[in-house]
Structure 1
Amino acid sequence: MNSSTFLPPLPEGAERSVVVGRSPGFHLKPPPAPAALRDVITSDAQLFETIHMGSVDVDAKRWRLQVDGLVRRPFSIDLDGLRRLPSVSITAFHECFGSPLVPADDNLWRVGNVRWTGVPLAVLLEHAQLETGATHVWSDGLDSGEFGGRKMNRYRKDLPISKALSHEVLVAYEMNGAPLTRERGGPVRLVVPGWFGTNMTKWLCRLSVQGRRANSPFTTVWYNRDSEHEGKVIRGPVWAVEPNSMITHPAPGDTISADDVKVKGWAWSNNGISSLALSTDGAATWQLAKVRPRREFEWQQFAATLPLPRSPGPVSIIARARDADGSIQPLSGTRNAAHSVQIDRLLPGSKTA
Structure 2
Amino acid sequence: MISRRGVLIAAGLTVLPSRAVAAAAPSIVKPLPASDFIVHGTNAETRWEALRDAGSLVPVSKFFVRNHTSTPVLDSAAWRLRIFGSGVARPLSLSLRELRALPSCSVEAVIECAGNGRSFFSSQQGQSVAGTPWALGAVGNARWRGVPLPVLLRLAGIRRSAVDVMPAGLDSEYVTGGVNLGRVRRPLPVSKALDDVLVAYEMNGAELPFDHGYPARLVVPGWVGIASIKWLGSLEVSDVPLHSPWDTQYYRLLGPDYPADGSLVTTQVAKSAFELGFGASVPAGRQVLTGRSWGPGGVRRISVSVDGRTWRRATPVSRGGWTRWQIPWQATPGSHVLRARADDQPDVSPYNTQGYLFGAVVSHPVTVA
- Same fold, judged at TM 0.5 (above): yes
Structure 1 273/147 Cα, relative in aligned 2: closer, same or farther at 3 Å? farther
Structure 1 counterpart of 2:360, one-letter code: A
Deviates more, 1:285-294 or 1:134-143: 285-294
How many Å apart are 1:226 and its aligned residue? 4.4
For 2:367 and 2:70, the matched residues in 1 are separated by 43
For 2:195 and 2:96, the matched residues in 1 are separated by 22
Aligned residues: 312
1:48-82 CA deviation, whole Å, 9 max, x = no partner?
A: 11111223232211211111221122222111111
Q: How does 1:16-55 map to 2 (within 5 A)?
A: 28-38=42-52, 39=54, 40-55=56-71
Residues 144 and 152 of structure 1 are in contact (CA less than 8 Å); yes or no, is this contact kept in structure 2?
no
Residues 64 and 137 of structure 2 are in contact (CA less than 8 Å); yes or no, is this contact kept in structure 1?
no
How many Å apart are 1:306 and its aligned residue? 3.9
2:189 to 152, 156, 160: 160
Q: The residue matched to 1:30 in structure 2 has which SS?
A: strand
Deviates more, 1:86-95 or 1:333-342: 333-342
For 2:69 and 2:252, the matched residues in 1 are separated by 19
Aligned to 1:275: 301
Residues 313 and 344 of structure 1 are in contact (CA less than 8 Å); yes or no, is this contact kept in structure 2?
yes
Aligned to 2:313: 288
1:298-334 CA deviation, whole Å, 9 max, x = no partner?
A: 111122224557xx42121111212xxxx52445676
Structure 1 105/337 Cα, relative in aligned 2: closer, same or farther at 3 Å? farther
Q: The residue matched to 1:130 in structure 2 has which SS?
A: coil
Structure 1 226/306 Cα, relative in aligned 2: closer, same or farther at 3 Å? farther
2:109 to 92, 95, 98: 92
Deviates more, 1:214-223 or 1:104-113: 104-113
Q: The residue matched to 1:273 in structure 2 has which SS?
A: coil
1:249-308 CA deviation, whole Å, 9 max, x = no partner?
A: 5874333432x54221011111111122111222x222121235744xx11112222455
1:61 to 60, 69, 77: 77
Aligned to 1:217: 245
Q: Which of 1 and 2 has greater Rg?
A: 1
Aligned to 1:264: 290
Aligned to 2:362: 339
How many Å apart are 1:140 and its aligned residue? 1.1
Aligned to 1:247: 274
For 2:187 and 2:331, the matched residues in 1 are separated by 48
Structure 1 residue runs of 5 or longer lacking an equivalent are: 1-22, 347-353
2:338 to 292, 317, 323: 317
Structure 1 154/233 Cα, relative in aligned 2: closer, same or farther at 3 Å? closer
Aligned to 1:236: 263
For 1:24 and 1:47, the matched residues in 2 are separated by 15
Aligned to 2:327: 304
Aligned to 2:145: 117
Name the % identity.
34
For 1:196 and 1:288, the matched residues in 2 are separated by 28
For 1:344 and 1:320, the matched residues in 2 are separated by 21
Structure 2 residue runs of 5 or longer lacking an equivalent are: 1-25, 29-39, 119-128
Q: The residue matched to 1:49 in structure 2 has which SS?
A: coil
- TM-score when normalising by structure 2: 0.75
1 or 2, which has the higher strand percentage?
1
- TM-score when normalising by structure 1: 0.78
1:65-104 CA deviation, whole Å, 9 max, x = no partner?
A: 1112211222221111111111111111221223998168
For 1:195 and 1:52, the matched residues in 2 are separated by 18
